[in-house]
Amino acid sequence: MIEKKVVVGLPHGLHARPAANFVKLATTFKSEIKLVKNEKEANGKSIMGVMASAIAKGDEISLVANGVDEAEAIAALEKVLLEEE
């Protein structure tokens, strides 16, 4: 299991389109993906879970991956969260 703290750089946070892009990428990995904000966990492969997390620009979250491709998943998903469009 890998856990990495990330400060979200997306201008409008993880709203509809960026959340959909995040989930689409997350589902390409075999690892379990979680987003943790204020001790609340969300399934990183669930659009409803990601959007319900209400992750805004500047929020510090934990990105957690557990599985065979966890390192690749963390690297790719962190890149999505740091983009400043």
- Distances from the Cα of 65 to the Cα of 11, 12, 70, 84, angstroms: 24, 24, 5, 23
**Amino acid residing at 51:** M
Q: Is 12 a residue of the active site? A: no
DSSP 3: E
The active-site residue out of 15, 37, 47, 59 is 15
Q: Catalytic residue positions?
A: 15
